[in-house]
Amino acid sequence: EPEPEPEPEPDPFIQNPAFSYFTHIDGTVYEINITGELIENSYSNIISKTNIQSVYIGSNVTSIGADAFEKARNNLQSVTMANSVTRFETSAFFLCENLTSLQISASLTYIGNSALASCRALQTLTIPSSVTTIDNQAFTSMGSLQSIIIPDSVTSIVTGSLFTNCSSLQTVTLGTGVTEIPTFMFNGCNALHTVVMSESVTTIYGSAFNNCNSLQSLTIGINVTSIWSSAFRGTTSLNT
């Protein structure tokens, strides 16, 4: 019988995967034992938020707290994490403008308000099938994001503006758990040309596709019973 695939080699600086490791822009690596919720105070006495280049979030961490990495701005480029993390709280990674790599925990269930908003350099985002709730403005102004799949597990998209001003977003697939397209969900997504909706969708709210100038066609399922006025305002290319 063929030999099983070997386990991937861990990053050389990770001595204990339960601990978290912060890499400074000068290359220094700091090992910190953070348990439960990771917040800015979990590490700020050791390394400044604006000096973090990359971080590995260890398995002792269960959630990324509100504002934990907010406005890390120009230096934070890469985040990986253990599968123990179940929640991204409000503004967890807000305005991490140079973040280009984000590996999300396979156990994540909740993405909070503005959790990834204005992560302008992140081109790809894989949402695991464990996620059930995505809160308001979670992905607003992710200007480099090109496509995204909302898995079937997501049953709650809280209020609107989820993808507002995602100016490079071209294709979106919505899973079967999505039953409503909230107000301003795709507002200002002027590169958006393809949205795949399941038959589960029943309501499209006002301004949901506001100013989606590149949207040429959209298939609306047979179970849609309510389309609010101005749902497609400014979709100047929409033909069908």
Grade residue 12 by pLDDT with cuts at 50, 70 and 90.
Answer: low
Grade residue 159 by pLDDT with cuts at 50, 70 and 90.
Answer: confident
pLDDT (tens digit per residue) in 112-153:
999 999 999 999 999 999 999 999 999 999 999 999 999 999
pLDDT (tens digit per residue) in 62-108:
999 999 999 997 899 999 999 999 999 999 999 999 999 999 999 99
Grade residue 199 by pLDDT with cuts at 50, 70 and 90.
Answer: very high
pLDDT (tens digit per residue) in 17-62:
999 999 999 999 999 999 999 999 999 999 999 999 999 999 999 9
Q: How far apart are CA 96 and CA 122, in angstroms?
A: 9
Grade residue 4 by pLDDT with cuts at 50, 70 and 90.
Answer: low
- Asked whether residue 183 carries a pLDDT value surpassing 70, the answer given is yes
- Asked whether residue 7 carries a pLDDT value surpassing 60, the answer given is no
By C-alpha distance, which of 103, 107, 61 is closest to 78?
Answer: 103
- Asked whether residue 11 carries a pLDDT value surpassing 70, the answer given is no
Distances (CA, A) of 204 to 93, 127, 220: 29, 23, 10
Higher pLDDT, 110 or 160: 110
Q: How far apart are CA 229 and CA 183, in angstroms?
A: 11
Per-residue model confidence (pLDDT) at position 34: 98
Query: How open is the CA angle 17-112-164, to the nearest 5 degrees?
Result: 125
- What predicted TM-score, i.e. pTM, was given to this entire model? 0.92
Q: How far apart are CA 14 and CA 240, in angstroms?
A: 53
Grade residue 169 by pLDDT with cuts at 50, 70 and 90.
Answer: very high
| Mean pLDDT score, 168-190 | 95
Residues paired with 54 in a beta bridge: 23, 78
